[in-house]
Amino acid sequence: MDSMRYRFNGFWAAVLIAACAFGAETRIKDVASFSGVRDNQLVGYGLVVGLNGTGDRRQTFFSAQTLTNILERSGITVSPDLIRVKNIAAVMVTATLPPFARKGSRVDVTVSSIGDAENIQGGVLIMTPLKAADNEVYVTAQGQLALGGFGAAAGGNRIQINHPTVGRIPNGGLVEKEVPLTLAGRQDLSLFLHQSDFTTAVRAARAINQAVGRDIAEARDGRTIALQVPEDYRSRVVEFMALVENARMEVDARARVVLNERTGTIVMGKEVKILPVSVIHGSLALQVGVVLGVSQPAPLSQGQTKVVPEVTVSAQEEKGRTVSLGEGASVEDVVRALNSVGAGPRDVIAILQAIKAAGALQAELEII
């Protein structure tokens, strides 16, 4: 019990450290990003070859059709019905194109089987064009697959480690088209917060104005901050953006309690407060058992000795332990109080849900 209490206290200590550190100053670049400076998702359909008999079966007809099309482009005409191969697999290829990627740059690609291939280990991806949402090709992918898992079967036995139908090709994508984004000569910029919050937006604008030394930032709403590029930075826009994203500020957030019922994880922010409330925490131990008794007949009677089962039911309820929390109690007070009644993480989840239902928890309660 003492070791469990020690682990429980250590768990809450970690939560408290994280919650208290949340109010520390952070850089603008950690909570916001500039408009237009973003990743772009790419996707394409391709074919993996060179598999050792673990490719698509006859149920996946489009892999054979794809191979037929590739052969036709190479000057070889063949009917898909005549193809009997098990060393190819139809795959979807995905990648992320980072901002400012130039022609000739390399990106990582992920290859995922979409047919009934058992394993794509050792396969080679044939050159596959990857398109963005505008249906334009930005990257071509090709290369040897690297898998984090494998599978094998023999004599009716089978073993599989991790996921053998998904692989990656490090630096397997070659950028063929750039995403246009020009910063030189810009007179205005927009900064978007990752989480919408009016207080954080106002603080960010003030921090930027203080870092630049003039009023060039204005919070337009809870997420958008408009920036006017000073004239002396018009030819040095990148330097100005670096100055802005390194300005420091204190991030504000709504009071929130996050509960994970599957793992028993509870995270509470420093602004979590509760109204005056009393919590009674107890437990009920119920035992049901069978006791074998002996029925002995009277002397000189015609009766027989028999074994008679007797069902016993006993219930024991521990004395309820009560803890009172005063008005405006902080997260530290809540943790200390719940620790004092010996509540475990899952018990605390139920207690917090009950406190929220009573209207005493002044925070959002989110269950994941």
Cross-strand partners of 166:
112
Q: In this predicted structure, what is the pLDDT of residue 6?
A: 40
* Cβ proximity of 225 and 247 under 8 Å: no
Q: pLDDT tens-digit profile of 164-189?
A: 889 999 999 999 999 888 888 788 99
Task: Compute the mean pLDDT over every residue in the chain, rounded to the nearest whole number.
Answer: 78
Give the predicted TM-score (pTM) of the model: 0.66
Residue owning tokens 């520390």:
24
**Percent of the chain with pLDDT strictly greater than 90:** 34
**Does residue 291 surpass a pLDDT of 70?**
no
Angle at which helices 331-340 and 345-357 cross, to 10°: 120
What is the Cα–Cα distance from 365 to 328, expressed in whole angstroms?
17
> How far from each other are the two terminal CA atoms of the chain, in whole angstroms?
29
Q: Where are the domains of the chain?
A: 2-22+255-283+320-367, 25-37+182-250, 40-175
Confidence of residue 18 (pLDDT cuts 50, 70, 90): very low
Report the CATH fold assignment for 25-37+182-250: Dipeptide-binding Protein; domain 1 (3.90.76)
Confidence of residue 257 (pLDDT cuts 50, 70, 90): confident
Q: pLDDT tens-digit profile of 338-361?
A: 667 666 777 777 777 887 887 777
Q: In this predicted structure, what is the pLDDT of residue 225?
A: 94
